A and B are shown apart, each in its own frame.
Chain A
Amino acid sequence: MSWARRAVRELGQLAVGLGMAVAGVALAMATLTAAALGLIGVGLPLLDRALGGTRALLDRQRRRVPGPPVRSPYQPVRGGLTARLMAMAGDPATYRDLAFQFVHFAYAPSAALFAVAIWLGAAQGLAMPLIHAVRPSAIGNYLGLPIDSPGNAGLATVAGLLVAVGAYWLPRGLLHLEGRLTRALLGPTARATLTERVEELTDTRAQTVDAQAAELRRIERDLHDGAQARLVAMAMNLGLAEELLARDPEAARGLVTEARSAAGTALAELRDVVRGIHPPVLADRGLAGGLAALALGAALPVDLDVDLPDRLAPPLESALYFTAAELVTNAARHSGAGRVAVRLWRTEDRVRLTVSDDGRGGADPERGSGLAGIRRRLAAFDGRVRIDSPSGGPTVIDVELPCAS
């Protein structure tokens, strides 16, 4: 009987819409009254309340429409009463809200009544033989069909069935229309969307530049304190050995041995630096090979499932590799997991990476710097990171990056 449940749910949604419309128009009236009172110097706190209430109510409306939730378009409001009111008065969304409240009030009650009336009409048609049998004179006609014989009453049943089919589908259409209305009036305008996007890009660009500068500083320091210093020491030792070669071959030999060992250490340090910049196996084999190598070297067993038709752009490969490496390390270090699963696959225009473990969960991007770092790293790619890590586990981290095909 899922269709019955669905019909009831949709009627219920229409009723909710009706309630929202009534509450909305009440808030709109309160807003206008408070604004009028504001002209003579009172009612400003009331205006603040009314607008706040409107925004809360309409945010619910944005979430309840069919399809993806409509994004909230409000500019940030903060500070004292005056500052808040100024901000809200300057926000076009405030006026669009008011317009919506009136349009919605014109629409939602009639939609709800219409839907109920059609169901009642259908019920009447279906019940017509019964009505005709009990009191033949009760109803003269049904949809223009004279009810003067049991045969015609039977035909009315068929008509009632057709009306019922209409009544079943109608609320869906009405809700859809309400959704369109909500999207049109309550969604962000093209301009607001662009403004937001520019802000976001400015933000992620600044982060990327900062991260890159920090990375270069780190590499410089690693080279300076590591390999470079060792090479200096080595050159010194070799110079001394050269001097000593004739006079004290034994001492020269000792210095040469020392220089060789310094060369070995310098090489090892350079390898570490290189791995931190761009793991060679990633350059050789792409992300699939890089992740396979990562899985082999991980501190706990990794179930790896990579499905990529071909190689991704190098910056994406690198970002995804370091993300996966960080997540696997996190799982090994903090989650107490016994296994971790890494999946990577590509859809039409995105690439998805999930890292899940069977550990105790409770991963929190606010606390560890690791997850926040991943967010920052991926922000430059318009990536999204979803973290699902209830206390008690399991943890699933889902990364999604757009990629041009």
Chain B
Amino acid sequence: MRIVIAEDLVLLRDGLIRLLTAYGDEVVAAVETGDELLAALLEHRPDVAVVDVRLPPTHTDEGLRAALAARARVPGLPVLVLSQYVEQLYARELLSDGAGAVGYLLKDRVADVAQFVAAVHRVAGGGMAMDPEVISQLLARPARAEPLRRLTPREHEVLALMAEGRSNGAIAQRLVVTEKAVSKHINSIFAKLDLRECDDDHRRVRAVLTYLDA
């Protein structure tokens, strides 16, 4: 898999390269700034980009902005954003084009190497990888929007796991139910959130976005 990395701290950049290479991926470019990232993404068209939110020269949200700009030019370009902290605001911005193929994880998650690499590959395949911390922030506050209040507690759990990017099988395993039960819950969620049309992946993104927007 061809990967572009954007990370300004050498220690972390080398670590990421080492880690991804060890799992058989190819790092085609490793850059330091937002501008370089945008250029590298447009030039290499990687299978997935792993991007730090905060990059030089401003050390604010350069990385996120560059990733969003690249996705505006190349719709659905898979991007996994890493950060020292997560903000619902940023998660929403990443998901809002509805194209999926986005991830947003705390840097801490790199520590669980296997899971992290799985998340990178999932995003490359068009899936989602929202950090559990984003989801737990959502769960910590009362559901505010009308459609979300209609969800049962079980459906909330399923939606949260969907946001993390887990497959039906993985969700079933986690909740100790059958896969059939999970897809029943998911259909019920789609119905309650009024997401009838289009393909399943797309609906998953939209469902999570509804969650974030509430």
What residues of chain A have their CB less than 8 Å away from a CB belonging to chain B? 260, 263-264, 267-268, 271, 274-275, 280-281, 283-285, 289, 292-293, 296-301
Known: A264-B108, A264-B111. A281 touches B87 (CB 8 A): yes
Query: What A residues does B111 contact at CB under 8 A?
Result: 260, 263-264
Chain B's nearest CB lies how many Å from the CB of A241? 15
- Residues of B near A297 (CB, < 8 A) are 88, 137, 141
Total cross-chain contacts (CB, 8 A): 49
Interface pair B85/A275, CB less than 8 Å apart = yes
B142 within 8 A of A: yes
* Docked pose: A280 CA to B141 CA in angstroms: 21
With an 8 Å Cβ cutoff, the count of chain B residues facing the other chain is 20
Of B88, B108, B137, which is within 8 A of A268 by CB? B108
Q: Please list the 8 inter-chain residue pairs (A to B) with the smallest Cβ-Cβ separation, ordered nearest first.
A: A284-B60, A284-B61, A296-B88, A293-B89, A267-B108, A301-B144, A299-B141, A281-B87
Q: Which chain B residue shows the least CB distance to A285? A: B61
Question: Assuming the A-B contacts A264-B108, A301-B144, are A271 and B54 also in contact, with contact meaning beta carbons closer than 8 angstroms in the complex?
Answer: no
Residues on B with C-beta less than 8 A from A301 are: 144
Chain A residues, Cβ within 8 Å of B212: 296
Q: How far is the CA of A281 from the CA of B141 in the complex (A)?
A: 19
Which of chain B's residues 72-93 have a Cβ closer than 8 Å to chain A?
84-85, 87-90, 92
B148 to chain A, nearest CB (A): 12
**B85 contacts A284, CB within 8 Å?**
no
The distance in angstroms between the C-alpha atoms of A398 and B145, with both chains bound, is 28
Q: Which of B107-155 contact A (CB under 8 A)?
A: 107-108, 111, 137, 141-142, 144
23 residue pairs A–B, Cβ–Cβ below 8 Å: A263-B111, A264-B108, A264-B111, A267-B84, A271-B84, A271-B85, A274-B85, A275-B85, A280-B85, A280-B87, A281-B87, A281-B89, A281-B90, A284-B54, A284-B60, A292-B89, A293-B88, A293-B89, A296-B88, A296-B89, A299-B142, A300-B144, A301-B144
Task: Assess the A283–B141 pair: CB atoms within 8 A.
Answer: no
CA distance A326 to B108 in the complex (A): 29
Bound CA span A296–B54, Å: 21
CA distance A281 to B93 in the complex (A): 13
- Give bound CA distance, A300 to B142, whole Å: 7
Query: Please, which residue of chain A has its CB at the minimum distance from the CB of B106?
Result: A267
> How many Å lie between the Cα of A264 and that of B106 in the bound state?
10
Chain B residue at minimum C-beta to C-beta distance from A299: B141
Nearest chain B CB to A190 CB, angstrom units:
46
Q: With a CB–CB cut-off of 8 A, which chain A residues contact B53?
A: 284
Residue numbers in B under 8 Å from A260 (CB-CB)? 111
Residue of A at shortest CB range from B58?
Answer: A284
Q: In the complex, what's the smallest C-beta–C-beta distance from A233 to chain B, in angstroms? A: 16
Cα distance A296–B91 in the bound complex, in angstroms: 11
Chain B 172-185 interface mask (CB, 8 Å, partner A; 1/0): 00000000000000
State the CA gap A100–B104 with chains docked (Å). Answer: 72
Report the nearest B residue to A261, measured CB to CB: B111
With both chains docked as a complex, state the minimum distance between the C-beta of A151 and any C-beta of chain B, in angstroms. 81
Query: B84 to chain A: which residues have CB within 8 Å?
Result: 267, 271, 274, 280
> Which of chain B's residues have a CB closer than 8 A to the CB of A280?
54, 84-85, 87
> CB-CB < 8 A to A292: which residues of B?
89
Task: Report how far A281 CA is from B90 CA in the complex, Å.
Answer: 9
Closest chain A residue, CB of each to CB of B62: A284
Complex Cα distance A24/B197, Å? 83
Closest to A263 in B: B111
Chain A residues whose C-beta falls within 8 Å of the C-beta of B89 in the assembled complex: 281, 285, 289, 292-293, 296
